[in-house]
Amino acid sequence: MKKDIKGSKLLVYLVSVFAIILWGISYIWTDMLIRLDIPVFYFVFVRIFLAGIILFLLNATRGRISGIHRKDLPKFLLLALFEPFLYFLCESYGLKETGSPTLSAMIIATIPIFSIGAGMLFFKEKINLVNIIGIVLSLCGIGLVVMSKDSVGENFIWGIVLLVIAVLSEVGHASITKSLSHNYCSQVIVMYQFLIGSVYLLPLFIFKGLDNFSMRYLSADVLYPVVCLAFLCSSLAFSLWVSTIKNLGVARSSIFSALIPVAAAVAAWILGQESLNARQVTGIIVSTIGVVMSQYTVRKQ
């Protein structure tokens, strides 16, 4: 029995790490689209809509589609409002306005600080001193990894505000997901989340995303990163993440999401887009130790 519990915990951790790796790589694909001067409203909508359709087809073939209970409808509407609508738009424009991926990643990495309060307040999740020390270590390690550039954009303050809204949206998303995860399977939750989010994004896509539309928007250079974002970073990663929140809770799962900047830095290094210095390598090691400590549970005799 103990081996089964340990095995299931290990699987949850592996799933969590895999989702974080995919989200880390998503920064590279998103950066490709921004460099091609593709409107944010265009590729965010296409990404979310495709992800919703993929999950709908997957759930339909497996006979898993279930209706939304009337009492849960407000939760699903609020879930989709938090993420993908608010989070993706605020994160993308926050990064654009600050002009600093480094600073943007640092702000996004503060998610655990807010998630601890949400987990303890709404779900009575318990956290011990070792967990707190682990979270602090992780944030320090993240700082070492991403603090390598100091350039900022003209609308710096406005960008900061948008990124803070993105952080709060993610905390709200995790909290609502936790409350829904016991009544719906992960793929169904994410399917409804993305399909409803597509409805929210549709007016912006029509009136803003299609400005100056050309066949270049349908080229392989654009479709390749969009499809990768939709299938891997949205459909797959978000489905895995629901199980992480369900098993680890809001507070402990959030520390993994804070490591997305680290995963992005490592992915960029592997692909030869960036180099890692000694300070960044040290930060990765410190962050890893912090994650392990943040997951420590005191066993009662």
pLDDT tens for the chain, 301 residues long, are 444 445 577 888 888 889 988 988 887 888 888 888 899 899 999 999 999 999 999 999 988 888 899 999 999 999 999 988 999 888 878 877 776 565 566 667 667 667 766 767 766 767 778 777 877 887 787 677 666 554 555 667 787 788 889 888 988 888 898 889 888 888 899 999 999 999 999 999 999 988 888 899 999 999 999 999 999 999 999 888 888 888 887 767 777 776 777 787 777 777 776 666 777 778 777 877 776 676 665 444 3
Buried b (16+ CB within 10 A) or exposed e, 45-60: bbbbbbbbbbbbeebe
How high is the pLDDT of residue 260?
Answer: 77
How high is the pLDDT of residue 236?
Answer: 92
Q: Could you tell me the maximum CA-CA distance found in the chain, to the nearest angstrom?
A: 66
How high is the pLDDT of residue 5?
Answer: 46
Do 90 and 166 touch, CB atoms closer than 8 A? yes
Half-sphere exposure of 18 (CA within 13 A, CB side): 17
Hey, is 115 helix, strand or coil? helix
What pTM does this model have? Answer: 0.78
Nearest CA-CA partner of 176 in 79, 68, 69, 74: 79
Question: How far is it, in rounded angstroms, from Cα 80 to Cα 29?
Answer: 23
Q: Which residue matches tokens 């006979």? A: 63
